[in-house]
Chain A
Amino acid sequence: MSFELLNFFFSPLSNGLIFVLLALGVFIAFRVLDIADLSVEGLFPFLTVLTCYLIRLGWNPLLALLLCFVLGAVSGALNAALSLYLKIPPLLSGIIMMSVDLSFALVFIYYNGGSPTLLGNYPTLFNWLSTLFRLAGLSTFWAVILSKLIVVGAIVALIMVFLYFFFGTELGLAIRASGKNKQMARANGISVKAMTMIGLALSSALVALAASLYAQANLGGTAQDGQGMIVIGLSIIFLGEAILPHHTFKTHLLAIFGGSFIYWYIIQLLIKLMDYIPGGSNYLTLWKAILLTLVLAVPYLILQIKKQRAHKKEEESDAPMPESL
């Protein structure tokens, strides 16, 4: 297979895996807690820049990842505190946290001499595995791509299993209850404030993991990294929900997992198609909107048609039935 073809199939896989974490973070805020958390767009570039900055200082990449996780949780908890204790509307508190986080990104860019942070030959989480693969005789392409898929895949698997069991515990169920019906949850003796805080901290911590992995996988971080992240997160959730079954919590998580890959294959496909339209990439956003609408609407339309047919059949089978009495 040509290099181009290999990349066509594998780069959405590694992007998709990383964005599962982002989408899960957005999912917890948006679906479980029913809060539109906008801080993602600031948190993401803050932590991509910080990850690169720390690794350039000589930090262990895993340590940088863990620090990002903690900082993400702190940012989420602060965001919740702003809306719960200072009565700032959640949408606005998200915007405030976004600005705060983005400012931190700018501070670290300033410390870096005003330049975005590029990792180049600095070690990342994937280095030890890709070195091992290369020693085993694999080409650089396979060594790099496999090490990314294995390391990120392991982290994603761990997180998904954790989320599944966590949201089945009393604490997890209490968080879900607080998101679904505040009054009812309160009536059952749940501290809605504490639950919202824990939930948002978890949500932002997952976004933080995605940011740190994104920086390490793409070898750099800039202040522009956050642009469009919420849209991507929401697109992934909606794509997953439109196409895959999601009736239990477990299948809902799996639907997001699948949605992330579907999203990235759509993007990859569009970028490739744009090569054949002169100046096509200028309208990429329009094509993305059209394709996403199609993917979201077609399953619904198919369902409607099926329903109509079923309805007709019912009428037909109803017709010959004689009225009793």
Chain B
Amino acid sequence: MVGIRFFVLKEDTLMKHGKMSILVGTSLLLSSLALSGCGSSGKTIGTLKIGAFDALNNAEKGFVEGLKENGFEDGKNITIKSDNANGDGATNTAMAQSLASSCDLVLGISTTSATALKGAVDGIGGSIPVLFTAATDPVGSGLIASMDKPGGNVTGTSDLGPIEAEINLLKKFSNIDTVGFLYTSSESNSVVQLKIAQPLVEAAGWTFVTKPITAATEITSAVSSLSSDVDVLLIPTDNTIAENMANVKAGNEARTGHPLIVAGCDSGMIGGSVVAMGVDYYKLGIQTGVMAAKILNGTKPADIPAEYNTDAVLKINKTWATSLNITIPEAVLNTAGAEII
């Protein structure tokens, strides 16, 4: 072991100096610039979303609209800061900390952003209201104590898909034996819905098959490799799949038998699915905006029950069904409020 000293010796030379002062100076100058700009009217509202997909963007737009309908407009009597973490966990946390310290009310769009905001507000011992939207299981994730009595400083809207309604709709089809469930295993919102769907499907007397994916690149092969027994492919409100519905379509086209695809929808999903039933994120955002307006008018968040999406949308893509040789029963087409494309 004597020879090892040799490797260390060449590192023992002198240090450099002097660059730190430039850096510290610049950052101090910039930071004073950054902080001096605050001088807005009214209360500041911060929104944070984990990434920019249709569902979350729509929820954000709805939130702004909901506030506006109740007399709070960005730039007039309130200031809205909207942050986007671009899918990066550490940025999400840092943005949450920044918003928690500089806003009077914060909104977390998606479970990840809402939990980060709650953590950041608790972390600095603050008590500003935290709203959430597009969080599937707010009770299970510990955001609130219960939907009716949220308690604390948190309330909001859940985007839990109307799974029971979806399965009731499926009962109107005559030829179903096996139901497949396609979801992203790393998305907790999808796992929650899996746990709800499984007993319901099994109670209906159908076989339940799960098809978990870990990344968007696996969607096409996951759909095309589904067993031919699968008659229906159920897709929950899942961010990864929602973003890549085109891949579901491609996968479905690449196989011989085509299952009926039912998705917890929003506007982007109709492209790949035959039946889309689910949450309208824009309306969900408006619901949340109304809550925010109540809080700004003086109601305590603890007294505002958390809500689910009040009106689910049903969209049926008849053209796409015909090209896949899927017949949709009249009973389904006649469902009240169904939008047929």
Cross-chain contact B123 with A188 (CB below 8 angstroms) = no
Q: State the interface size on chain A (CB cutoff 8 A).
A: 86
Cross-chain contact B15 with A15 (CB below 8 angstroms) = no
Minimum C-beta distance from B87 to chain A (A):
6
B90-134 interface mask toward A, CB cutoff 8 Å, 1 = contact, 0 = none?
111111011011100000000110011011101111100000000
Minimum C-beta distance from A10 to chain B (A):
9
User: Is B76 at the interface (CB under 8 A from chain A)?
Assistant: no
**Cβ contacts under 8 Å, A106 to chain B:** 185-186
Residue of B nearest to A10 (CB): B124
Q: State the CA gap A189–B89 with chains docked (Å).
A: 44
Cross-chain contact A218 with B93 (CB below 8 angstroms) = yes
Given known contacts A232-B90, A247-B15, A302-B19, is B7 in contact with A181 (CB within 8 Å)?
Answer: yes
Q: Is the interface of B mostly helix, strand, loop or mixed?
A: helix
User: Is B25 at the interface (CB under 8 A from chain A)?
Assistant: no
Cross-chain contact B141 with A118 (CB below 8 angstroms) = yes
Given known contacts A115-B111, A218-B93, is B1 in contact with A188 (CB within 8 Å)?
Answer: yes
User: Is A318 at the interface (CB under 8 A from chain B)?
Assistant: no
Which single member of A112, A217, A222, A232 contacts B140 (CB below 8 Å)? Answer: A112
Q: State the CA gap A268–B194 with chains docked (Å).
A: 38
Cross-chain contact A219 with B1 (CB below 8 angstroms) = no
Residue of A nearest to B186 (CB): A223
Cross-chain contact B141 with A267 (CB below 8 angstroms) = no
User: Is B3 at the interface (CB under 8 A from chain A)?
Assistant: yes
User: Is B20 at the interface (CB under 8 A from chain A)?
Assistant: yes
Residue of A nearest to B192 (CB): A114
Cross-chain contact A295 with B192 (CB below 8 angstroms) = no
Which single member of B5, B19, B86, B140 contacts A114 (CB below 8 Å)? Answer: B140
User: Is A183 at the interface (CB under 8 A from chain B)?
Assistant: no
A128-160 interface mask toward B, CB cutoff 8 Å, 1 = contact, 0 = none?
000000000001110111000000000000000
Most A CB within 10 A of own CB, among B88, B123, B140? B123
Q: State the CA gap A286–B191 with chains docked (Å).
A: 33
Given known contacts A144-B125, A247-B15, A281-B83, is B111 in contact with A4 (CB within 8 Å)?
Answer: no
Q: State the CA gap A245–B14 with chains docked (Å).
A: 9
Q: State the CA gap A253–B233 with chains docked (Å).
A: 54
Cross-chain contact B192 with A115 (CB below 8 angstroms) = yes
Cross-chain contact A267 with B94 (CB below 8 angstroms) = yes
Cross-chain contact B89 with A228 (CB below 8 angstroms) = yes
Minimum C-beta distance from B69 to chain A (A):
22
Q: State the interface size on chain B (CB cutoff 8 A).
A: 75
Minimum C-beta distance from B34 to chain A (A):
4
User: Is B337 at the interface (CB under 8 A from chain A)?
Assistant: no
Q: State the CA gap A11–B264 with chains docked (Å).
A: 38
Minimum C-beta distance from A240 to chain B (A):
11
**Cβ contacts under 8 Å, B91 to chain A:** 228, 267, 271, 284
**Cβ contacts under 8 Å, A5 to chain B:** 35
Q: State the CA gap A113–B125 with chains docked (Å).
A: 28
Cross-chain contact A116 with B188 (CB below 8 angstroms) = yes
Chain-B contact segment, one of A65-73, A88-96, A172-180, A200-208: A172-180
Minimum C-beta distance from B56 to chain A (A):
12
A285-317 interface mask toward B, CB cutoff 8 Å, 1 = contact, 0 = none?
100000000010011001000000000000000
Which single member of B15, B16, B116, B143 contacts A218 (CB below 8 Å)? Answer: B116
**Cβ contacts under 8 Å, B94 to chain A:** 11, 15, 264, 267-268, 271
Minimum C-beta distance from A229 to chain B (A):
7
Which single member of B88, B102, B119 contacts A4 (CB below 8 Å)? Answer: B102
Cross-chain contact A269 with B27 (CB below 8 angstroms) = yes
User: Is B317 at the interface (CB under 8 A from chain A)?
Assistant: no
**Cβ contacts under 8 Å, A220 to chain B:** 115-116, 118-119
Minimum C-beta distance from B102 to chain A (A):
4
Minimum C-beta distance from B218 to chain A (A):
13
**Cβ contacts under 8 Å, B83 to chain A:** 271, 274, 281
User: Is A58 at the interface (CB under 8 A from chain B)?
Assistant: no
Residue of A nearest to B87 (CB): A227
Cross-chain contact B1 with A170 (CB below 8 angstroms) = yes
**Cβ contacts under 8 Å, A140 to chain B:** 124-126
User: Is B23 at the interface (CB under 8 A from chain A)?
Assistant: yes
Minimum C-beta distance from B81 to chain A (A):
5
Given known contacts A228-B88, A249-B11, is B27 in contact with A109 (CB within 8 Å)?
Answer: no
Minimum C-beta distance from A139 to chain B (A):
7
Cross-chain contact B101 with A115 (CB below 8 angstroms) = no
Minimum C-beta distance from B147 to chain A (A):
14
Cross-chain contact B123 with A115 (CB below 8 angstroms) = no
Interface residues of A in 12-49 (CB under 8 A from B): 15, 45
Cross-chain contact A173 with B52 (CB below 8 angstroms) = no
Q: State the CA gap A222–B89 with chains docked (Å).
A: 9
**Further pairs besides A248-B12, A265-B27: 6, Cβ < 8 Å:** A4-B38, A102-B186, A218-B116, A281-B82, A282-B84, A298-B22
Which residues in A have some Cβ–Cβ distance to B below 8 Å? 3-8, 11, 15, 45, 102, 105-106, 109-110, 112-121, 139-141, 143-145, 170, 173-174, 176-177, 180-181, 184-185, 187-190, 217-220, 222-229, 232, 243-245, 247-249, 251, 258, 262, 264-269, 271-276, 279, 281-282, 284-285, 295, 298-299, 302
What are 9 of the A-B contact pairs (CB < 8 Å)? A8-B101, A15-B93, A121-B122, A145-B124, A219-B123, A224-B89, A229-B89, A267-B91, A269-B30
Name the 8 nearest CB pairs between A and B, nearest first.
A140-B125, A7-B101, A114-B191, A245-B15, A118-B142, A219-B119, A115-B141, A115-B140
